[in-house]
Chains A and B, each alone.
Chain A
Amino acid sequence: MAKVLRDTLVIQSRPGRIADARQWAAQQTRAAGFGEDAVFAVELALGEALANVVEHAYDGDEAQEIRLTLVVDGEKLCLTIRDYGRKFDQASYTPPDLDVPAEGGYGVYLMHELMDEVTYDSSPPEGTRLSLVKYRSGEVHG
């Protein structure tokens, strides 16, 4: 049975901390044996997720907390982003029209393009638990 790796990182909801979290996730993904395509996907998807938490869930309040949990096993990598702010309204989300250049709205779209699974769990009493999953098989089958 493949070894299970698990790590956590807690950051404050400041834009300046997003790069630190990206680098942490990239390092962990690389160490878990994923290729550079997956490292890029995890890094960018996490950056987009955190930017949305900082701007929308916490409305720019930089004193709040975001908890990141990364679990890797023989099958996949799962990165969970837990915030305690305003819940993400999935019903109001519409993907961007890629035929029209837009000044925003690409973040969630990119997360879905880059990761194998993107799941918003709004069931906690406070905030949202966002899970980003990348399968190892994606390395083989693209």
Chain B
Amino acid sequence: MEIKVERNGAVVVVAVTGDVDAATAPRLREQFDDLLGEGQHKFVIELSEVGFMDSSGLATLVQLFKRVRIGHGDVRLSGTQPEVQRIFELTRLHRVFDIFPDRAGAVASFD
């Protein structure tokens, strides 16, 4: 799994590539911890290059969501592939996260 961080004004885009599972989710959590430590609270998680995510990945995103909500921030997702989208639907987390087709739309949604 690879993680790239881009800052677009007040919005931080975390672009993930590869599988997000029990082995890799801890690294994503550490990245989120670092960004939260900087005071970031508007997140776009770009998932177009993620072909597999398990419940460890879901848990990591929900944890981030709950933490940014305390500071009135938000976590928005972009580019979910069909199999990843299905996991969100099975767990009904697609009702919790706003999911956009692409990162530009997700970033613009914070304006």
Contacts across chains A and B counted by CB atoms under 8 Å: 64
> Smallest CB-CB separation from B90: which chain A residue?
A113
Known contacts A40-B83, A51-B56, A103-B63, A109 near B91 by CB under 8 Å: yes
Q: Report whether over half of chain A's contact residues are helix, strand or loop; otherwise say mixed.
A: helix
Q: Does A101 contact B (CB under 8 A)?
A: yes
Q: Does A15 contact B (CB under 8 A)?
A: yes
Chain B interface: which size bin? Answer: 20 to 34
Contact A55 B22 (CB under 8 A): yes
Q: Does B100 contact A (CB under 8 A)?
A: no
Q: Which residues of B contact A14 (CB under 8 A)?
A: 23
Q: Please list 10 pairs of residues, one from A and one from B, whose beta carbons are closer than 8 Å in the complex, sorted by A's number.
A: A22-B52, A40-B83, A44-B87, A50-B22, A55-B22, A99-B92, A101-B96, A102-B59, A106-B59, A107-B54
Residues of A within 8 A of B (CB): 14-16, 18-19, 22, 40, 43-44, 47-48, 50-51, 54-55, 96, 98-99, 101-107, 109-110, 113-114
